[in-house]
Amino acid sequence: MADDIDELLEEVENKFFKNKPRDNLQKSESDVTSLDSILFDIGEYESLNGEVFSEQMRNPRTQRKCFPVYLSGTQISKGCTTAGEIRACDKLHCTSCDFSVAVYGNMAWRDGTDYLFLRTNMPDFAKVSTNLKTAEQWQAYACQCCHQSTCELVDLNTLPTIQWICKGHSTKDTKHSSS
């Protein structure tokens, strides 16, 4: 393992620090292919044989993630937040319970909704609807461990107890919004 790390570091030094000529690399074709595939997974890079790759070339339907991630009521369009447009993320995933976040439009959670209720009833709407109330322009969000209701724009960074992330939107999702 340590030898593999040393070899990888040496290749990186040769590639980026140019103080050692590339010709001194004594690596087999399989080593170069392995390194290329690792770097390819990270994102855009120039391979050891000079080809330039990017995430967009590998997967034309690249997943984009919201930054920052927002929740909102029904008045804000859903989709991926971009530099030019703020949207409510509709591709949320909980890193705590590893469950997709359900969104119920024009609804809010009743007082008394708790972890045990969510854990035993999500995502069955027939069961969770007993703890939902009608609320115009509100949205009720929930996974199997936590819930949130809002009628206004809320940055997830301001809700430290909720461990939700944007799972990613296809580039098609970022070009138009849905309500």
Mean pLDDT of the chain: 80
pLDDT tens-digit readout, 54-112: 544 555 556 789 989 999 999 999 999 988 889 999 999 999 999 999 999 999 999 99
What ranges do the domains of the chain cover?
2-58, 63-175
| pLDDT bucket at 20, cuts 50 / 70 / 90 | very low
SS3 at position 49: coil
SS3 at position 64: strand
